[in-house]
Chain A
Amino acid sequence: MARLFLSGVSCMKRVLVVLLVLAAIGAAGFWFLTSPDRQSAGLEPIPAGQANLENGKTLFYAGGCTSCHAVPEQADKLRLGGGYPLRSPFGTFYVPNISPHPRDGIGSWTPAQFVRAMRAGVSPDGRHYYPSFPYTSYQRMSAADLRDLFAFMLTLQPVEGRVRDHDLPFPFNVRRGLGLWKLAFLDGRPFMPDPAKSASLNRGAYLVEGPGHCAECHSPRNQLGGIVEDRRFAGGPEPEGRGWVPNITPHETGLKEWTRGDIEEVLASGLTPTGDSVGSTMAAVVANTERLPEAERKAMAEYVKSLPPREGRKGPR
Chain B
Amino acid sequence: MIRPVLVGLALAIGVSAAIAQSDPIAERRATMKGVGAATAQGNRMAKGEAPFELDKAQEVLKTYAAAADKMHTYFPESAKSGGETTASPKIWENQAEFRKRFDDWAADIKKAAANTKDLDTFKAEFATVTRACGGCHQAFRVSRS
Contacts and interface: CB of A to CB of B under 8 A. Distances in A.
Interface bracket on B: 20 to 34
A10 interface: no
Interface string B115-132: 000000000000000100
Contact of A280 (B41, B130, B133, B137): B137
Contact of A271 (B43, B135, B136): B43
B37 A274 contact: yes
B133 A317 contact: no
Given A270-B133, A270-B134, A286-B134, A279 B143 contact: yes
Nearest to A242: B142
A51 interface: no
A275 B138 contact: no
Interface in B5-21: none
Contacts of B86: 243, 316
Contact of A279 (B38, B41, B84, B134): B134
A244 B143 contact: yes
Contacts of A286: 134
A277 B37 contact: no
Given A269-B43, A277-B130, A246 B138 contact: no
Contacts of B22: none
B35 to A, nearest CB: 7
A277 B130 CA distance: 8
A70 interface: no
A142 to B, nearest CB: 32
A213 to B, nearest CB: 17
B145 A316 contact: yes
A278 interface: yes
B67 to A, nearest CB: 12
A66 to B, nearest CB: 14
Interface string A244-263: 11100000000000000000
A282 interface: yes
Given A275-B38, A279-B134, A283-B135, A316 B84 contact: yes
Given A270-B133, A316-B84, A275 B143 contact: no
Nearest to A280: B143
B80 interface: no
B61 to A, nearest CB: 14
A244 B144 contact: yes
Contact of B137 (A238, A278, A287): A278
Contacts of B35: 275
B39 interface: yes
B72 interface: no
Contacts of A315: 145
B134 A245 contact: no
Contacts of B33: 274
A271 B39 contact: yes
A308 interface: no
B128 to A, nearest CB: 13
A276 interface: yes
Nearest to A284: B138
Interface in B36-58: 36-41, 43
B137 A275 contact: no
Contacts of B130: 269, 271, 277
Contacts of A284: 138
A29 interface: no
Nearest to B39: A275
Contact of B141 (A235, A238, A245, A280): A280
Contacts of B88: 242
A290 to B, nearest CB: 10
A282 B38 contact: no
Nearest to A271: B43
Interface string A272-300: 11111111111110110000000000000
Interface in B56-77: none
A129 B83 CA distance: 41
Most buried by B among A276, A282, A283: A276
Contacts of B145: 235, 244, 246, 315-316
**Pairs A-B, 7 closest by C-beta atoms:** A279-B137, A277-B133, A275-B40, A275-B39, A275-B36, A283-B138, A243-B142
Interface of A: 235, 238, 242-246, 265, 269-284, 286-287, 315-317
